[in-house]
Chains A and B, each alone.
Chain A
Amino acid sequence: MKQKKRINMAFYVMTVPMAVLFFCFHTFPFLQGVFYSFTDWKGYGNWKFVGLRNYLHIFQDKNVISAYLFTFQFAICATILVNVLSLLLACALNAKIKCKNFLKAVFFLPYMLGTLIISYVFKYIFSNIIPLFGKALGIAALSKNILGTNHAWIGVLVVTVWQSMAFNTLIYLSGLQTVDRDLYEAAALDGATGMKRFFKITFPLIAPFFTINMVLSGKNFLMAFDQFIAMTNGGPGTATTTISVLIYKKGFSGGQFAYQSANAVLLFIVVVLISVFQLRVLERREEKVN
């Protein structure tokens, strides 16, 4: 028994240096952030412990609260839209169509392109192209640049959905391809077609892929940063300031290092809770179905 337990030194050589580096540059800054969240450090100069003061202030800070509410609103809308639309698109791509591989490749293309640049391109579309069509067609709602109005977030939502659909569609499509077509034949004999077949047969079978997509997209949208910096820079005013944008703007240049560290810790807790919650709920539902 004892001999079996002995582990060759070489295995330690293979992992320990990486683990040490990981601790120094990932875990250590994380712990440091937690530590500073209990102080009043501005990012320079002296500091002292202030206990839970930063956290108490966060819950009364209008900027922080509105950033959280806005981020949740954005993340929920984006998650639902992306998943519904990519599921539809994946079903269409899974049907008997011509040029299937070509279309699949085309719809996956947005995944490859940097979010920042895509956002700049769409910013131009929203500010110059769509108002042109809006005026030509006489639709008032489309005649002005949406990014300058109170509905700016819808513009960012469109870009986010446009890009995220690529990945989600691909995952749903690979899920749909695992479904045995004989099942459909059997279902048809029992009279299940169309919507009924989708909800009773197809959807339960691709439930694991639904879980992957929900968890990954939910987490990504809570972190949304690039598209907001590029399209609205958090504005107009602070209307589209997400949590990440707030931490970046105030943490680095606002002299709020400790305060925004507390905000970051809170964000971490929120992300963990939501991810765990999603996994629990979705997996339980999967089990029920199977």
Chain B
Amino acid sequence: MEDVRVRRLKREKTNWALTLLLFFIAILFIFGPLYMTVVIAVKSPQEMGNVLALPKSIQWSNFSKAWEMTDYPRKFANTLFITVVNLVFTVFTNAMASYAIARNRKKSKFFNFLYYYFISAMFIPFNVLMLPLVNEANKFHIDNVIGITFLYIVFGLPMNTFLYTGYIKSIPEALDEAAVIDGASPIQTFILIMFPMLKPMTATVAILSVMWTWNDFLMPLVLLSDKSQQTLQLAQYIFQGQFNTQYNLAFASYLLVLLPVLIFYVLCQKWIISGVVTGAVKQ
């Protein structure tokens, strides 16, 4: 399989053939589609005869047209609102609930029940409850940006409880007891002592929440029918018909949605990767 020279562990030789092969695969399969997306987005329709060639001049107007057509600022603001508000509330409320559950599970049947209640809900996929949920959402008038944000916070609970309680278990209870002796209430203990200590797991929960809400398509699709409430992903679906064969506009629009994520990834790449690994391995 991998070609590691074992004889001289410390002075293993670099495997240049494998390095080259990996670069080749990366260029062909990862950068290739990305390059194509960018090139089509900055071309004029006349230049599409040779799709993969670089354009003679960059058509910035593709972006401004896609921007206006999809009402990008509005959709961006909606998506950003959902992502950021969900992130802040998810991290705080879910960590708090997990703290209470993790610390009282052994003492109380009620908290132990809550633990299993939340965890077992991980088995219920969204598709299974979406039909009744949409009816309920219409009744409660939560078929809008604020409502869907609220639903994300609630729906993240099973997974996040699982991640947080696992982590809290590894923090000695003596710490809380010391705080209680000093006269701190459970809520103070959580805010002042526990929450700061949960930072590594909070990073994981934060990354997973952000990726989920920014890229989610199904939940906005079934809940957000009002145009002014739609997200970036949903807008790409809604405007497929209007893009039709105007591939340059369509790809400019895709690029406008991908760009924030790409920038985010380039800036926080290490943090994101370690966050995702922690989240998966703890499962």
Contact = CB atoms under 8 A, between A and B. Distances in A.
A117 B136 contact: no
A226 B111 contact: no
A66 interface: no
B250 interface: yes
Contacts of A88: 1
A207 interface: no
Given A18-B93, A95-B15, A226 B154 contact: no
A14 B96 contact: yes
B131 interface: yes
A5 B127 CA distance: 40
| Contact residues of B: prevailing secondary structure | helix
Contact of A5 (B99, B108, B129, B272): B108
B186 interface: yes
A129 B155 contact: no
A264 to B, nearest CB: 4
Given A25-B133, A98-B16, A91 B1 contact: yes
Contact of B269 (A5, A19, A105, A257): A105
A214 to B, nearest CB: 12
Given A97-B18, A129-B36, A264 B233 contact: no
B128 interface: yes
A218 to B, nearest CB: 12
Interface in A249-290: 251-252, 257, 260-261, 264-265, 267-268, 271-272, 275
Interface in A88-108: 88-89, 91-99, 103-108
A236 B111 CA distance: 50
A51 interface: no
Interface in B50-92: 51-52
A252 B131 contact: yes
A117 B1 contact: no
A113 B277 contact: no
Given A10-B187, A30-B129, A33-B128, A15 B217 contact: no
Contact of B111 (A11, A92, A120): A11
Nearest to B103: A11
Nearest to B283: A212
B186 A10 contact: yes
Contacts of A118: 33
B151 interface: yes
A237 B22 CA distance: 39
B123 A272 contact: yes
| Contact residues of A: prevailing secondary structure | helix
Contacts of B280: 167, 170-171, 212, 216
B214 interface: yes
Contact of B1 (A97, A124, A194): A194
Contacts of B12: 96
Nearest to B5: A96
Contact of A99 (B19, B40, B100): B19
Contacts of A252: 131, 134, 222
B113 to A, nearest CB: 10
A47 interface: no
Nearest to B50: A132
A56 interface: no
Contacts of A223: 125, 127
A268 B127 CA distance: 9
A26 interface: yes
Contacts of B124: 26, 30, 268
Contacts of B26: 103, 106-107
Contacts of A27: 121
Contacts of A112: 211, 261-262, 264-265, 272
A74 interface: no
A184 B6 contact: yes
15 contacts: A22-B121, A26-B154, A29-B132, A33-B129, A94-B2, A106-B31, A112-B211, A113-B215, A114-B261, A116-B236, A124-B247, A184-B6, A223-B125, A252-B131, A261-B132
Given A22-B157, A109-B30, 19 more contacts: A12-B100, A14-B187, A28-B136, A30-B129, A33-B128, A94-B2, A95-B3, A95-B18, A106-B26, A112-B262, A114-B261, A116-B233, A167-B276, A174-B277, A216-B280, A219-B125, A225-B218, A226-B218, A247-B127
Closest 7 CB pairs of A and B: A114-B215, A32-B132, A10-B186, A95-B2, A29-B132, A14-B100, A11-B100
